[in-house]
């Protein structure tokens, strides 16, 4: 008996050692960045906060944009896009912003639907689309139900995703399949249930109504008017020219490993926006201009019956209310929020999975520093 225990213990030790060796071989040490020698300006101060955050949270790269009183007062990036190639992360690097994509889908929907005199409170039945039969339970859903995640629609569960073994589908193919099997993913409940499928369905309906690809529509209504020239909903992934890699912490102390993303739908209205930190600063500038900005028409449609624009999340930052959205998927994390009261907006991105809430912690540090 004692001999069997020793053998089992030896096997356990062997496999543990093998696992640790594998983790070590396929991971990277934390990125070491030199702290600012002196802080002589606001720029230096925020630089110092971001550099320190990289060490504290084991971030391979981080970028930030701050807009205040209609101007971009901070725009910078540190670290790497990819730890293997050591390509630097810059404010012009193509980055994935995950669920922040929903905001720009909402803005595209708002502008396009307003042009067609479609209201947020209209039902999907009123769209008169051949893609949605009159007998479908979807016809009773209102557009604002989708924007607010109060449609009764749910995403596939983790087990359903595993069992489906599905490859990436194009948006049109996914939409037709979803509508055809809607009873599996839709109930009569109107309680809040966060689901990417709400926005993927919105994007599908928008494309069907305009008879154009999602990216083309959002470019026309959102990106081109604001000169966000480096933003797009990608139809292929990974992009050949994009070496950006996401990361997460490993079992081994103070080491990180790649955590890549896979899209089930392309283009993805809910999470498929690829952009740059510089473009996000442009978006914040126009959102803060309110009635004078390029998004004034979009926001008017989205706020017809509410103070917070439909599709926007509301949180507390630095002691006041801010609206925007979090982005987090695989090894990518971001935060995009603005406050009309504070006349300030902030965007943060890191190619690291946020398991400790570092996005809001860093945002609060930066905002406290620039507006003590």
- The pLDDT tens digits for 216-235 are 999 999 999 999 999 999 99
Question: Does residue 140 share a domain with residue 79?
Answer: no
Over residues 38-86, the pLDDT tens digits come to 788 999 999 999 999 999 999 999 999 999 999 999 999 999 999 989 9
Question: Does residue 70 share a domain with residue 56?
Answer: yes
Rounded mean pLDDT of the chain? Answer: 89
- Neighbour-count burial of 350, counting CB atoms closer than 10 A to its CB (0-12 exposed, 13-18 middle, 19+ buried): buried
The whole-number pLDDT of residue 128 equals 93
Structure tokens at 364: 């609060």
Q: Residue 258: count other Cβ atoms within 10 Å of its Cβ.
A: 18
Asked if residues 192 and 144 have their Cβ atoms less than 8 Å apart, the reply is no
13 found inside a domain: no
More confident of the two residues 371 and 361 = 361
- Distance CA(300)–CA(361), nearest Å, equals 31
Question: Does residue 366 share a domain with residue 233?
Answer: yes
310 found inside a domain: yes
The whole-number pLDDT of residue 307 equals 87
Which residues have CB under 8 Å from 344's CB, separation 6+?
66, 67, 68, 69, 288, 338, 367, 370, 371
Question: Does residue 133 share a domain with residue 167?
Answer: yes
Question: Does residue 226 share a domain with residue 325?
Answer: yes
Question: Does residue 203 share a domain with residue 64?
Answer: no
E strands along 197-353, which residues? 232-233, 247-249, 255-258, 265-266, 273-275, 313-317, 320-329, 332-339, 344-350
15 found inside a domain: no
More confident of the two residues 258 and 24 = 258
pTM over 0.95: no
CATH code at 49? 3.40.710.10
Question: Does residue 205 share a domain with residue 90?
Answer: no
Q: What percent of the chain has pLDDT over 90?
A: 71
Question: Does residue 239 share a domain with residue 366?
Answer: yes
The whole-number pLDDT of residue 24 equals 46
265 found inside a domain: no
Distances (CA, A) of 36 to 48, 57, 64, 86, 191: 6, 18, 17, 21, 49
- DSSP states along 146-189: HHTT-SSB-PPPHHHHHHH-PPPEEHHHHHHHHHHTGGGTB-S-
Q: Is 260 helix (H, G, I), strand (E, B) or coil?
A: coil
Spacing of C-alpha 55 from chain mean position = 23
1 found inside a domain: no
The whole-number pLDDT of residue 235 equals 93
Q: Which domain holds residue 151?
A: 103-210
Q: Is the pLDDT of residue 169 over 60?
A: yes
Q: Is 95 helix (H, G, I), strand (E, B) or coil?
A: strand
Over residues 77-116, the pLDDT tens digits come to 999 999 989 999 999 999 999 999 999 999 999 999 999 9
Question: Does residue 108 share a domain with residue 121?
Answer: yes
Per the structure, how many domains does the chain have?
2
19 found inside a domain: no
Asked if residues 153 and 186 have their Cβ atoms less than 8 Å apart, the reply is yes
Q: How far apart are the first and last CA of the chain?
A: 68
Question: Does residue 309 share a domain with residue 166?
Answer: no
């Amino acid at each position: 008996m004692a001999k069997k225990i020793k053998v089992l213990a030896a096997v356990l030790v062997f496999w543990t050692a093998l696992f640790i060796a594998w983790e070590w071989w396929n991971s990277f040490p934390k990125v070491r960045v030199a702290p600012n020698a002196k802080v002589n300006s606001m720029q230096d101060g925020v630089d110092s906060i971001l550099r320190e955050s990289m060490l504290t949270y084991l971030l391979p790269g981080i970028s930030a944009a701050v807009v205040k009183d209609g101007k971009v007062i901070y725009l910078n990036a540190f670290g790497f896009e990819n730890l293997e190639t050591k390509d630097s992360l810059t404010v012009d690097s193509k980055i994935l912003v995950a669920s922040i994509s929903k905001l720009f889908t909402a803005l595209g929907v708002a502008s396009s639907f307003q042009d067609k005199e479609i209201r947020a409170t209209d039902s999907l039945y009123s769209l008169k689309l051949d893609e949605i039969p009159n007998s479908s339970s979807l016809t009773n859903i209102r557009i604002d139900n989708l924007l607010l995640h109060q449609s009764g629609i749910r995403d596939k569960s983790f087990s359903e995703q595993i069992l489906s073994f599905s490859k990436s589908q194009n948006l049109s193919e996914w939409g037709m399949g979803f509508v055809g099997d809607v009873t599996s993913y839709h109930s009569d409940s109107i309680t809040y249930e966060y689901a990417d499928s709400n926005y993927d369905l919105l994007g599908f309906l928008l494309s069907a109504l305009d008879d154009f690809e999602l990216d083309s529509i959002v470019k026309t209504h959102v990106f081109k008017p604001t000169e966000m020239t480096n933003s797009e909903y990608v139809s292929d992934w990974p992009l050949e020219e994009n070496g950006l890699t996401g990361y997460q912490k490993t079992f081994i102390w103070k080491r990180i490993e790649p955590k890549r993303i896979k899209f089930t739908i392309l283009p993805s209205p809910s999470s498929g926006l690829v952009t740059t930190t510089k473009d996000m600063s442009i978006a914040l500038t126009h959102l803060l201009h309110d009635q004078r900005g390029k998004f004034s028409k979009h926001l008017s449609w989205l706020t017809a019956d509410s103070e917070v624009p439909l599709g926007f999340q509301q949180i507390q930052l630095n002691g006041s209310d801010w609206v925007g959205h979090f982005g987090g998927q695989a090894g990518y994390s971001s935060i995009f929020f603005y406050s009309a009261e504070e006349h300030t907006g902030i965007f943060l991105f890191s190619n690291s999975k946020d398991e400790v809430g570092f996005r809001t912690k860093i945002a609060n540090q930066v905002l406290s520093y620039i507006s003590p």
